[in-house]
Amino acid sequence: MNEEKQTYIPIEKLEEFKENKDSIIIAVQISFKNDTEEDIHEGLIELTKETTSGTWVEISTVTEGSTQADGWIVHEHGKIGYIGIPAHNWDLSGGFNNLPANIMGNYFGLGTLKQARFLDVYFPPEIVKQFPGPRFGVDGIYKKMGDMKRMITGSIVKPKMGLNPIEWATVAENVFKEADLVKDDENLCNQVFCPWRERFTETMTRQQAIIEETGEPKMYAHNITTIDILQRARDVKALAEELGTHHYSMMVDGIISGVNSVHRLRMQDDLPFPIYIHRAMHAAMTRSRDFGINFLVFAKLFRMAGADYLHTGTYGSGKMGEAESLHPTLEEDDPEIIPLELLDDTAYLNRAITKSWGDLKSTLPMASGGLFPGALPRIRRFNGAIGNAFQIGCNAGGGIHGHPRGTRVGAKAFKDVAVAVETNEYQSLEEETTRRAYLDDFASMDGNEHVKQAFDKVEWGLLV
Ligand code: CAP
Ligand code: MG
């Protein structure tokens, strides 16, 4: 079967959706035997049995009642199968810990399958409404950021490991003097060289002074990915209360800690702080075209579980190898069919975590990974094309600390570009050439040398 011709039909657009909308539906792409239509159908039967109630051979222990847990094929589309799973197969009392084995479990290991990619999932409203979703959501986060009418600009302190608390907080302070958000990196938590209490105290003390001096909203996403996340969160809250500050989010490496950990954190009403989900390790599962899980699945689960912020890629503007471009398809509201590769696009992910979904608030997309000041105009354009305008957070580590004039100036360049692309004049420019000319003129103005240095830096440049 011809791979590049494979398209994807969103689950809710299937002709059979209506009669299956009270069940869980998963979309999986497989390769089986010679990939004829018959082979794919046979492979999907194997997969359906393995992920619901069956096994590799017929068994004598099936009862009339046990068929209530059987799965079925809803629709077949090339090498993609849409599989119905009874909603009661998810033991909701088990939270997200009982879900993966039902929708992304054994079938990846079936020796008969030559490919198994879990592309997408649909949950019936009866299930979705059992989950809290983000406590703040995009609007709540922007409210915390003073309802700024631009992209939220942030930085990851670099070097990501090895600095002592004073050194780390000093880098953070220089970011806070100009930009909005600072975060711990994915592997920094409570190492001996940078204990969390000292880092949090030094950082928040400096942050508080800048907030008092400038009146500007700031946010520190502090990594609490540890053995007992809830205890750490409570210890952080107690320390913050001692310091008299609350401008922080609880950052969790969500893939590593598990969606259930995020859900449990969200359910703590004595911890009413934003939850920031970093997705470290996701690429071990999401990049392979052979066996893996599309990040879209995790994005939906993290939104259900309560993620206020979620890393979802950079619309192909950064270092994490997304060879992606926004497909015109997404400029339509609700496409009937899309190119399969669009499922991995930041654009599709960001649409999924911000569009209306039951009573769940939206999750703020965070773009990160090889960003720099000149990358922001393109991100803003793509984010606008899916209808989200300036509502996105953009983080740069190397793209701020690598500025020729250091962190503070790099952070200023990053923030100043985010401001520049929000002018009505810039937003009215249709052509790439006129957008580039506008920003080059902006960078050439007196006082904007720091922006010009960023645009001129050979590893950075300007993407419009
Ligand atoms: C970026 C980053 C981010 C990843 C996240 C890093 O640093 O801090 O964690 O890029 O990627 O450690 O690489 P730079 P994603 O800005 O210096 O690249 O959002 O795709 O999960
Ligand atoms: Mg990082």
CB atoms within 10 A of CB 461: 13
Shortest-distance ligand to the CA of residue 319: 1
Sign of torsion over alpha carbons 320, 426, 351, 345: negative
What's the gap in Å between 340 CA and the centre of ligand 2? 28
- Amino acid present at 403: H
What's the gap in Å between 369 CA and the centre of ligand 1? 4
pLDDT tens column, 380-409: 999 999 999 999 999 999 999 999 999 999
Which residue, among 337, 452, 453, 432, has the nearest Cα to 6 in the 3D structure? 337
Judge whether 343 and 424 are in contact, CB under 8 Å.
no
pTM of the predicted protein model: 0.96
Residue 43: per-residue pLDDT: 97
Q: What is the largest CA-CA distance in the chain?
A: 82
* Both tokens assigned to 432: 């790439």
Q: What's the CA gap between 293 and 279, in Å, rounded?
A: 13
**Alpha carbon separation from 240 to 181, 251, 273 (Å, rounded):** 17, 15, 12
Q: What's the CA gap between 422 and 402, in Å, rounded?
A: 25
- Label residues 281-313 b or e (16+ Cβ within 10 Å = b): ebeebbeeeeebbbbbbbbbbbbbbbbbbbbbb
Question: Is pLDDT of 24 > 80?
Answer: yes
CA atoms within 13 A on the CB side of 416: 22
Residue tagged 């990915």 (tokens): 225
pLDDT tens column, 234-282: 999 999 999 999 999 999 999 999 999 999 999 999 999 999 999 999 9
Decide: 23 in ligand 1 pocket, CB within 6 A.
Answer: no
**What residues act catalytically?**
158, 278
User: How would residue 323 be classed by pLDDT, with cut points 50, 70 and 90?
Assistant: very low
Q: What's the CA gap between 80 and 6, in Å, rounded?
A: 8
Q: What's the CA gap between 197 and 240, in Å, rounded?
A: 10
Q: What's the CA gap between 151 and 365, in Å, rounded?
A: 11
Judge whether 306 and 132 are in contact, CB under 8 Å.
yes
Helix, strand or coil for residue 93? helix
Antiparallel, parallel or unpaired: β 309-311 and 338-339 = unpaired
Q: Which residue has the least CA distance to atom 6 on ligand 1?
A: 369
CA atoms within 13 A on the CB side of 93: 0
Question: Is pLDDT of 326 > 70?
Answer: no
User: How would residue 317 be classed by pLDDT, with cut points 50, 70 and 90?
Assistant: confident
**Alpha carbon separation from 398 to 44, 348, 417, 460 (Å, rounded):** 45, 26, 16, 10
Helix, strand or coil for residue 98? coil
Sign of torsion over alpha carbons 305, 225, 283, 93: negative
Q: What's the CA gap between 112 and 107, in Å, rounded?
A: 10
Residue 5: per-residue pLDDT: 80
Decide: 254 in ligand 1 pocket, CB within 6 A.
Answer: no
Antiparallel, parallel or unpaired: β 364-368 and 338-339 = unpaired
Decide: 417 in ligand 1 pocket, CB within 6 A.
Answer: no
Q: For the chain, which residues make up each domain, given as ranges?
A: 2-124, 137-456
3-state SS string for 235-247: HHHHHHHHHCCCC
Decide: 128 in ligand 1 pocket, CB within 6 A.
Answer: no
One CATH from 3.20.20.120, 3.40.50.1970, 2.60.40.650, 3.30.70.150 for 2-124: 3.30.70.150
Please state the atom number of ligand 1 nearest to the C-alpha of residue 395: 16
Q: For residue 265, is it left (φ>0), alpha (ψ between -120 and 50) or beta?
A: alpha
What is the architecture of the domain spanning 137-456?
Answer: Alpha-Beta Barrel (3.20)
pLDDT tens column, 279-294: 999 999 999 999 999 9
